[in-house]
Structure 1
Amino acid sequence: MKDYADAISFLGEWGCFQQTVFFLLCASIMPNGFGAFNLVFLTDTPSHHCLVPGINLTEDWLKSIIPITVVNGREELSRCRRYRLDLVKNLSAQGYIPGRDVNLTDLEEESCVDGWSYSKDIYQSTIVTEFDLVCGEQWKVPFTSTVFFVGVLCGSFFSGPLADRYGRKPVLFATLAAQTVFTFVAVFSTSWIMFLIFLFFNGLGQISNFVSALVLGAEILTGNIRILYSSLGTCLAFALGYMILPLCAYFLRDWKSLLLALSVPCLVYIPLWWILPESPRWLLSKGRNEEAEAVVRKAAEWNKVQAPAVVFEDCYIPNSPKENYSALDLLRESSIRTTTVVLCLVAFTLTTGYYSLNFNTAQLHADPFLSCFISAVVEIPGYVSSWISLRCFPRRPSVIGLLICGAAFLFLIQLVPEHLSSLALTLEMISKYAFTTGFSLMFAYTTELYPTVLRNTATGTTNTVGRLGSCITPFLLSLSSYFKSLPYITLGILTVVTAFAALLLPETYQQPLPETVQQMQERQRFKCPSCTRRNKSATPRVLLDSPL
């Protein structure tokens, strides 16, 4: 009896059909790259001080009306206070000179009742300058990011079950449409609340599109091409979108133009609806064999090969015994429950480390555009390493090794003297490399662990828990105000604990994707591929098919 990979082996691994699916799905992931981090520029706060309306003041008083404050050991103009305008006006009219005739420290101050004057050296406008999110309203800036990540979290949770119920393709395009539409309409926001609402719905499509595209490609492609797509292809597409963001932001310095530039070009994805197919694996799991065969026959035409009379004859792709599966099915059986809980912990830790170190290394340079570009470029070695690891090494030891590596360098940073800042930065970048590699690897690992009927639900659920890490990142980084190294130590301890928990994960290296819950449960019995070979007589036929 053949499995799915054997049934479609006549197509080959890298024909015209597979190439089209590979590159078009990668292209659909690019908006996640610039959409996930555009808040870096949209919520940036330029230099500002209280606005002084056009009144008749001497040049000396115009220069002195804003108090001087000390921030991090440096003197700068106060951002939220000014000397009382009526007092300054009277003193200026009487010919008094500040600093000589008047002691400025004795003057009464007031808040910025006339608004603020914002520097335009870097940005023409951001949502901070648009809605005056400074001083007493400054809390709205991090809250804006939190709302976005809550939207991402909700989208990750609901998109998985929806994709398992209604199909990978509809959810892929629905989430892509959500990103495009709500990024565009946010341009017309007339208040911070309105912008926040649009941002939340934008977040629903973020990453959910990535997961849907990842699962769709992983189920259509086979062999080493599937590994290439699940690791290097998808992640490099994300990184490319990430690198496009600072380039657009550099030439478009106002937030509305930037959002338009990031949304309107996404209309080119509309024709992909008629090009990209639904997952044949998912169609088979739903008993829609004729539609699955139609997809495969179309692929045979594209690849110019002859399809057999019956494509899935003697193919072991059982239909789901239940109408619908939900996230609860990830917790019903003890073996699946253990895998799910550990995967959620690993996803949470890697996501927390990834975003924490990304936000930290975003300050590598005074130029925010260059900082963002560097932060994107340094992820490429991590993605390449993830691909090599998936091709050549077992999954579980790879995940554990990356977690230990990431934690080790976080602890080593504490031993570096303050004057060796370049060494500390190097160690932090190595730790970021480890978290980025693990972050990328886990997407492919998760798709390999779960059967077709639960794959998107499991990927969405673990990704949802992981997104909690991105939500707490601002709070984790704020611990540095109590003790500078506390964020590193906290993250390092969490990572070490997670590395030990990962020992409970099953191995998937050189094993085919499970099609049923029973096959997944059977896999829990074996710790590694060598164990599988030693237990051939007790292993179902589906686990002995040709390697990925």
Structure 2
Amino acid sequence: MKNYDDTISFLGQWGSFQQTVFFLLGVSIMPNGFGTLSLVFLTATPSHHCLVPEVNLSQDWRNAIIPIEVVNGKQELSRCSRYRLDVVENLSAQGFIPGRDVNLTDLEQEGCVDGWSYSKDIYQSTVVSEFDLVCRDQWKEPLTSTIFFLGFLCGSFVSGQLSDRFGRKPVLFATMAIQTVFTFAEIFSPSWTVFSSLIFISAVGQVSNYISAFVLGSEILTGNVRVLFSSMGVCVAFAFGYMVLPPIAYFLRDWKSLLLGSTLICLIYAPLWWFIPESPRWLLSQGRVEEAEAIVRKAAKKNRVEAPLVIFEDCIAYADETEMHSKEQHNIFDLLRTKNIRNITLILCLIWSTLNTGYYGLSLNSAELHANPYISSFLSAAVEVPAYIFCWVVVRYFPRRLSVTCLLLLGGVSLFLIQLVPQSLSDLAVALEMVGKFGLSTGAALIYIYTAEIYPTVLRNTATGTCSSVSRVVICIMPFILKLSVYFKYLPYIILGTLSVVSAFAALFLPESFGRPLPQTIQEMHKRERWVLKGI
């Protein structure tokens, strides 16, 4: 019985049909890059200090009522305290001058009982300023991003099962609708609790339609085009969506306007329903042969080739029954059953976690790199495009183990060096962070392919899904790691750099897969491990 790729080989690999699918699926992924990294601007914390109500104060006391604090070697107005208003009002009424007649350090302080005044120099408003996620409630700001990534984790678990049951195309557009509706609903959130609940559901939709688009493209496209789509196409589309975000956020500086813009971008893709087909592979697996044939015949007409009279004559269930039976006999525990496979699994989980945590950590931190957060965020997005192109080059020409090790070292060393840069050379610090982002972004794209090449067919999907899920769990704590900068400015860089260097050395103990056939069985995987021990 011929396999699916052989059966539809008459279509070719890069006709009008494949070009349309490649391009439109990439377009459908772009809103995910925009929506995911919009957290950079939605949860930004504007400069703020305690609000001083309109009371009878002299201008000297109004200027002095907010204490001065030293933060990272710089003097700033206190964000969470002020001198007691009733005391200051009494002193002002008596004609005392602050600093001359009164020693300010002797005055009692109080919290921001009247609320806060937020600077509008950069942002008109954010979720932080809307719901006052500062001072005692400042823990809610990183928790917002964590809740979003928990939605990613949940969506990763359910999307595969939904698309296996209901089809790739319906799940792609249904989850895109969920993303659109709940993103729009966030605009009307009356409280932080409601906003967090809505952003969780929106994140479930985002990651689900991303995965559905990835699977749909991988099943429709064949040969080198499938490799190009899987390794570079989806990543570059995500990066372009990310690149569009800073310019739009620059003009829409209000968080509600930015969410509305994100909603409108998602709505543009509704017409794609009539141009993106269902996966013929999935239809065949469900026994819907006539529908699969109709899609392939339409593709043949678009590619201007002649289709056979009967396309799927002996391919009613294109999936290999032996392979399916094998998958039923293997599960996640097989990744830990033997010492060698267990070591490989643990090392890969560490590397996956390091790369994805580094990617999202540097992306979320991009607004802190430069006085203008829109410029620094655009640079952070733009560096991903050459990173993913370089990943495609690496996949074609370079050994996997050495490549992953070098990329991790590049990212780790660059992040370590940032703390050595004088404050007068801030552009150099930005350049080093972009080099780190380049290395970790390239590695994050490469590790998908490397993992798939290491494990045998019977464990490949399980291993990739497990490593991805573990890394998403770790990503959930990333927003809190970034907040450690309040204790020491460079502490997040030190943590990410240390993880990268440790992971780089751990990668040296992985087997090489470049230029070798994919293992089909666990026995073949063990054989490859023996090659590593012998230095082959």
Does the TM-score normalized on the shorter chain lie above 0.5? yes
1:267 offset after TM fit, Å?
1.4
1:495 aligned residue: 503
Q: 1:25-174 to 2 correspondence within 5 Å?
A: 25-174=25-174
- Indicate whether 1:430 and 2:452 are aligned: no
Q: Deviations over 1:446-501 (max 9, x none)?
A: 66778999987765543322212322323444566478464145313441354135
Gaps of 5+ in 1: 531-548
Provide the C-alpha distance between the structure 1 equivalents of 2:274 and 2:523, rounded to a whole number of angstroms: 38
Moved more, 462-471 or 245-254: 462-471
CA deviation after TM superposition for structure 1 residue 297, in Å: 1.4
Alignment partners' CA distance in 2, 1:77 and 1:163: 53
Q: Which runs of 5 or more structure 2 residues have no equivalent in the other structure?
A: 532-536
Deviation at 1:25, TM superposition (A): 0.3
Alpha-carbon distance change, 459 to 406 in structure 1, aligned in 2, over 3 angstroms: same
Which whole-Å CA distance do the structure 2 matches of 1:363 and 1:301 have between them? 52
Contact 2:355 2:500 survives alignment (8 Å): no
Q: Which residue of 1 aligns with 2:331?
A: 329
**Corresponding position of 1:206:** 206
Match of 1:206, SS?
A: helix
For structure 1, which segment, 484-493 or 461-470, has the greater mean C-alpha deviation from structure 2 after superposition?
484-493
Is the Cα contact below 8 Å between 1:215 and 1:447 reproduced in 2? no
- Out of 345, 352, 366, the residue aligned to residue 347 of structure 1 is 352
- CA separation of 1:476 and 1:276: change in aligned 2, threshold 3 A: same
1:201 and 1:234, CA in 2 relative to 1: closer, same or farther beyond 3 A? same
Alignment of 1:377-526 (within 5 A): 377-393=382-398, 395=400, 398-407=403-412, 409=414, 426-444=431-449, 460-477=465-482, 481=487, 484=491, 486-503=494-511, 519=520, 524=525
- Secondary structure at the counterpart of residue 125 of structure 2: coil
Which region of structure 1 is more displaced relative to structure 2, 352-361 or 402-411? Answer: 402-411
Within 1, Cα distance between the matches of 2:461 and 2:172?
A: 11
Residues 342 and 89 of structure 1: is their aligned pair in 2 closer, same or farther, counting only changes over 3 Å?
A: closer
User: TM-score w.r.t. structure 2 length?
Assistant: 0.86
CA contact (8 A) 1:282 1:452 kept: no
Instruction: After TM superposition, give the deviation of residue 420 of structure 1 in Å.
Output: 7.4
| Larger CA deviation: 400-409 vs 160-169 | 400-409
The aligned counterpart of 2:192 is: 192
Aligned-pair CA distance for 1:278: 1.9
Following superposition, the deviation at residue 317 of structure 1 comes to 2.9
Q: Which moved more, 1:431-440 or 1:307-316?
A: 307-316
Q: Secondary structure of 1:117's match?
A: strand
Whichever residue aligns with residue 351 of structure 1, its letter is N
Alignment correspondent of 1:284:
284
Q: Greater CA deviation, 188-197 or 90-99?
A: 90-99
Paired with 2:166 and 2:348, the residues of 1 have a C-alpha distance of 25
- Between 401-410 and 71-80, report the one with greater CA deviation: 401-410
CA distance in 1, matches of 2:448, 2:182: 26
- The answer (yes or no) to whether the contact 1:34–1:241 under 8 Å persists in 2 is yes
Task: Tell me: CA distance 1:507–1:391, structure 2 relative to 1, closer, same or farther (3 Å).
Answer: closer
Summarize deviations over 1:7-57 as a string: whole Å, max 9, x none. Answer: 211111111110110111001100111111111111111111111111222
Determine helix, strand or coil for the equivalent of 2:75. strand
Query: For residues 118 and 431 of structure 1, do their structure 2 counterparts lie closer, same or farther at Cα, with a shift above 3 Å needed?
Result: closer
Aligned pair count?
Answer: 523
Which secondary structure state, in structure 2, belongs to the residue aligned with residue 261 of structure 1?
helix
What residue number does 1:535 align with?
A: none
Aligned position for 2:265: 265
CA separation of 1:294 and 1:332: change in aligned 2, threshold 3 A: farther
Residue 279 of structure 1 deviates from its aligned partner by 1.9
Letter in 2 for 1:188: F
Question: Which residue number corresponds to residue 13 of structure 2?
Answer: 13
Partner SS state of residue 70, structure 2:
strand
AA of the residue aligned to 1:387: W
Aligned equivalents of 1:406, 1:359: Cα separation in 2: 16
Amino acid in the other structure paired with 1:436: S
C-alpha distance in structure 2 between counterparts of 1:327 and 1:365, whole Å: 53
- Give me the TM-score of the superposition, normalised by structure 1: 0.85
